[in-house]
Structure 1
């Protein structure tokens, strides 16, 4: 019998195919993506990963299984240490200063995605939480595998591909899939439907993330001295 993770992956395939074929992802593969788009994306992703690591700590608090707690905390720590180190090296390569990062505010799509994750996690059910968290590492790993033989000239693209096609990413995906399947083995049909829907929602936000990078989507800029009320009232 298939676990919830495999069922959700099958149902999300059409959406994932759009991520695989998205111009942003293909631009990394072929080395044609503009650095301004990658720069915008990396800042949003660094914000996302920071929160994603915290969310793993919250997930660990939703189970009394010591082994599961240990695995989730280890993955969270790895995210906080390893992936953010990659972002820091890319920050240097792209000229993103400490001052720029301190002034950073997440763009609407990044903010909405993280808000979605916190909303699901607040329900306090590990199966639901993993349904929300799983698409990110799993989709990135599949993208990494598809791009692993690509040879874009820019080193930052090479490093990005290497990170997401690594054995460490594969290992974490397999661990979290097993945890999700185990946490959901006694779930009702209605709960399985809810978890699959959550998985699809996160998968949709992944697609929006690429689009955000490709289009440099962000909040409108507030003019210096402009009244906050007037600023937001003027947004179309």
Structure 2
């Protein structure tokens, strides 16, 4: 497995427990295509449009995390993540699509694909039916997985038309978010389950929540990749 990117103790445990599913997500053919430039442009644009929809619901989930927080620090970080998604990542998608002739109105009118619907509602359901930890376990694969992918591609990728996307997630600002979220998860888990949390029965249930979200992330890449040949 790819070396642990260093986003915290709990993430390292969840990541290891996910096993091959984590590699299937972070080293998916879609990701490889971003790195070597072979990803069809149509597949990338389909992904961008769907990811813009995804980020809206993902921001809703982080807003829910703020409501479920037990400390001011947890609330502040969750709220800051909502702002970062709305003002940062979603803005990147708007700019990239605009260059391809997809204006903001068309982007906002994007119909949500079934794989997108399944993933976003799974994350929201984790928050509605569970507590702060359940929600963090469902949110973590996206935030921290993109950090790991971005950091690796930032080091390894050569000339590729997807360099701006890579640089966003490899960049210092996004990597700082990953470290902050990893620290948030560590603190939240230890606060609620104690310093020996890894041996608590509930730890396994949280790891399963993380694993399911990881598999849904891989399905999201599948969705994007499948769009290329049809749209070419």
TM-score, normalized by length of structure 1? Answer: 0.85
Corresponding residue of 2:98: 92
Query: Whole-Å Cα distance in 2 between the matches of residues 102 and 167 of structure 1?
Result: 29
Structure 1 segments (4+ residues) deviating >6 Å:
none
1:151 has 2:162 as partner: no
- Aligned-residue Cα RMSD (Å) equals 1.8
1:194 has 2:205 as partner: yes
Q: Deviations over 1:178-214 (max 9, x none)?
A: 2222222243723211110000011101111111100
Q: Which runs of 5+ in 2 are unaligned?
A: 1-7
Q: Is the 8 A contact 1:56 1:73 kept in 2?
A: yes
Q: Is the 8 A contact 1:40 1:216 kept in 2?
A: yes
1:25 has 2:36 as partner: no
Higher RCO (Cα < 8 Å, 6 or more apart): 2
Indicate which of 12, 19, 37 corresponds to 2:18. Answer: 12
Indicate which of 141, 148, 166 corresponds to 1:161. Answer: 166
Higher share in helix: 2
Q: Greater Rg, structure 1 or structure 2?
A: 1
1:161 Cα deviation from its structure 2 partner: 0.2
- Aligned pairs, how many? 214
Query: Whole-Å Cα distance in 1 between the matches of residues 70 and 25 of structure 2?
Result: 35
Corresponding residue of 2:225: 214
Q: Deviations over 1:70-124 (max 9, x none)?
A: 1110111011101111001111122213443243211110110001001101024
**Which segment is superposed worse, 8-17 or 40-49?**
8-17
Corresponding residue of 1:174: 179
Q: Deviations over 1:106-148 (max 9, x none)?
A: 1110110001001101024111110010110111111111111
Q: Deviations over 1:161-188 (max 9, x none)?
A: 0011112222212222222222222437
Corresponding residue of 2:53: 47
Q: Is the 8 A contact 1:131 1:195 kept in 2?
A: yes
Q: Deviations over 1:37-57 (max 9, x none)?
A: 011100111111111112111
TM-score, normalized by length of structure 2? Answer: 0.86
**Which segment is superposed worse, 163-172 or 39-48?**
163-172
**Which segment is superposed worse, 181-190 or 20-29?**
181-190
Corresponding residue of 1:226: none
Query: Whole-Å Cα distance in 1 between the matches of residues 102 and 188 of structure 2?
Result: 41
SS of 1:73's equivalent in the other structure is: helix
